[in-house]
Amino acid sequence: MKFQMRRCNECGEYTLEDICPDCNVKTGVIYPARYSPQDKYGKYRRILKKQQEQQQKEG
């Protein structure tokens, strides 16, 4: 059985469970997505990053 370390978004507690045992909130996986040379969404991430940088300069 494969386990992944998870972290609660509310209290920051680390666990292996899908739900935090302390505050009963859904946890998220702490590992980044696997890299792929055939990145289907890289174009959209770069566009979004450029838009966010422009918004920070303006505001």
Q: Quick: pLDDT tens for 15-53.
A: 999 999 999 999 998 888 788 888 888 899 899 999 999
**Which tops the pLDDT comparison, 33 or 4?**
4
pLDDT of residue 36: 83
Task: Give yes or no for residue 57 having a pLDDT over 60.
Answer: yes
Alpha helices by DSSP H, listed for 1-59, are 42-58
Question: Is residue 1 pLDDT above 80, yes or no?
Answer: no
C-alpha to C-alpha distances, 49 to 7, 14, 17, 53, nearest whole angstrom: 25, 29, 32, 6
Long-range pairs for 16-25: beta carbons < 8 A, 24 or more residues apart: none
